[in-house]
Amino acid sequence: MKSEFRQLLKIVNQENIISDETDLLAYSRDLTPYILKPDIVIFPETTKDVSEVLKFANEKKIPVTMRGSGASFTGSSLPRKGGIVLDMSEMNHIIKIIPEDFICVAQPGVSLGELNSELMKYDCIFPHDIGSKDVSSLGGVVASDSHGHHGLKNGKVGNWIIGLEVVLANGKIVKLGTNTLRNNCGFNLIRLFAGSQGTLCAITEITICIAPLPKTSATIGIFFDEMENVMSAVRAIIYAGVEPSAIEIVDQFSLNAVNKTLQLGFPKAEAMMITDVEAPDDDSLEKKVNVVKEMCIAHDGRDILWSKDPKEMDTLWLPRTGIDIAIAKTHAGYREVGFAIADPCVSLSAMIDVMIKMRQIFDEHDVLAAVFGHVGLGIIHPAVFVKVDDPNEWKAAKKAEKEIVDLIAQVGGTITGEHGIGLIKSPFVPAELGNSLDIMRAIKQLFDPNGILNIGKMCLDELSFEEPPHSAYSKYKDE
């Protein structure tokens, strides 16, 4: 252990510290292709531990990066300039569940899967559903103000947060919110800190709203020969008052790849729509399903499949959730990599046209990519796959990335509807935020004057514009 960190042994036990060079490599990666190694990893067990570590780091001006499960597509949990990584996995307790008030208090290291397993014992659920729910931590999704598959009904995770305990850069512990479902007292600091991706504070406790477990639900899969008809069907479903919890679109490439590789037996089509509906009883559920079917048939949907059996519902979702498995089986050496274009959002009227143009851009640059998204919200997810040790593949993907960022700007969209800015989107932020970025930087200066918290992220400092080292090669630009 470096001598400058010896003082940390007075704060946390030796077994809660990692300083071995080999072990540190495990904390140098996430779902982006970059490699940024910390100098030391600390596993705090209490809010006091976090407070004392931050107080020490602030006095010594040592960079600190918070880390949940490391399942980030934005590089937000990578230590841009080394220093300390605070791994929050030991703070993984569900403090209390109050079903009569629809409230739960938990620490940031709890996984979403574990949280819902406990909530289901009370016939409740935290309805934030993401692809990495079994590994993603509550603190991680709160810090990124994550969205989810069922965001059409439930919105972003920030909608469900009613209280936070945070530790500021100087070690000060601050409690925000109350155990009430509504609070309009003062500035909404909860929403400020939720989504700040560790640049303003460390989150040590979260109070969330929970919901009754849906009595029954179903998934409906509909196939379309023209992508444009999907959006027409979506509008009809929403106007009909069905209130679906999710409406997804999967393009032809994704459908074909998963259908063939996983042998699903689904019909061929230009696009597939996947819709989830919930209801208090089976009769109400079937009525909703029938309305969805009628609306889709009216807009040239065909071969409609639906089920309320959980396993069959998962199968209907596979063209949306199984693309990584399909690509791994058919394209050896490729992996999905987080890029700045992982989650743009555009208006509903522009969405299909943008998806079609995205496909054209990927094909022009010979980039392997699937295009799907939350068609009820305008959020598009291009899943880009590259051979990360091939500089030419990386260059092609980066060219496509820039063209798609420009495309999103042309239609008045945003570069991130879900994942947040992190590291990879920072260079594109000034063009979208303009002088409002000055306000963000002023807020950063107020809460973190020494600039120790998650530096190089969210375009809050000059480091945000420097290309970080790639995990497979260091000078791809010159190769």
What domains sit in the chain, N to C, each tagged with a CATH number?
91-212 (3.30.465.10), 216-328 (3.30.70.2190)
Query: For the residues 259-288, what does the mean pLDDT come to?
Result: 96
**Is the pLDDT confidence value at 208 over 90?**
yes
H or E element that contains 42: strand 40-42
With CA atoms as reference, report the closest residue to 146 among 335, 406, 408, 422: 422
Can you spell out the DSSP letters for 329-359? HHSTT-EE---TTSB-B--HHHHHHHHHHHH
For residues 68 and 236, give the distance between their C-alpha atoms in angstroms, rounded to a whole number.
Answer: 40
Find where tokens 């000078």 sit. Answer: 475
Return the pLDDT at 149. Answer: 82
For residues 350 and 408, give the distance between their C-alpha atoms in angstroms, rounded to a whole number.
Answer: 10
pTM for the model:
0.92
Return the pLDDT at 1. Answer: 65
Distances (CA, A) of 28 to 36, 39, 41, 218, 244: 5, 10, 11, 40, 40
Long-range contacts of 22-30 (CB under 8 A, 24+ apart): 27/67, 27/70, 27/79, 27/85, 27/87, 28/78, 28/79, 29/70, 29/78, 29/471, 30/70, 30/71, 30/72, 30/73, 30/75, 30/76, 30/77, 30/78, 30/338
- Label residue 473 by pLDDT band (50, 70, 90): low
- Which percentage of the chain shows pLDDT scores above 70? 97
**Is the pLDDT confidence value at 201 over 90?**
yes
**Is the pLDDT confidence value at 157 over 80?**
yes
Query: For the residues 13-29, what does the mean pLDDT come to?
Result: 91
H or E element that contains 103: strand 103-106
Return the pLDDT at 133. Answer: 65
Distance, CA of 273 to chain centre = 21
Q: What is the largest CA-CA distance in the chain?
A: 71
Return the pLDDT at 100. Answer: 96
Return the pLDDT at 479. Answer: 44
Token pair listed for 438: 């000055």
pLDDT tens per residue, range 418-429:
888 999 999 999
Return the pLDDT at 478. Answer: 45
Burial, 393: exposed, middle or buried (Cβ in 10 Å; 0-12, 13-18, 19+)?
buried
Helices (H) then strands (E): counts for the chain: 15, 18
**Is the pLDDT confidence value at 144 over 80?**
yes
For residues 460 and 458, give the distance between their C-alpha atoms in angstroms, rounded to a whole number.
Answer: 5
Antiparallel, parallel or unpaired: β 84-87 and 40-42 = parallel
Return the pLDDT at 474. Answer: 56
Judge whether 154 and 418 are in contact, CB under 8 Å.
no
DSSP-assigned letter for residue 205? E
- Label residue 83 by pLDDT band (50, 70, 90): very high
Considering the chain, what is the average pLDDT of its residues? 93
**Is the pLDDT confidence value at 205 over 90?**
yes
Per-residue exposure over 416-426, b if at least 16 CB sit within 10 Å of its own CB, e if not: bbbbbbbbbbb
Distances (CA, A) of 375 to 131, 344, 409, 470: 17, 12, 19, 33
In sequence order, what are the residues at sequence separation of 6 or more whose Cβ sits closer than 8 angstroms to the Cβ of residue 381? 342, 343, 371, 372, 373, 374
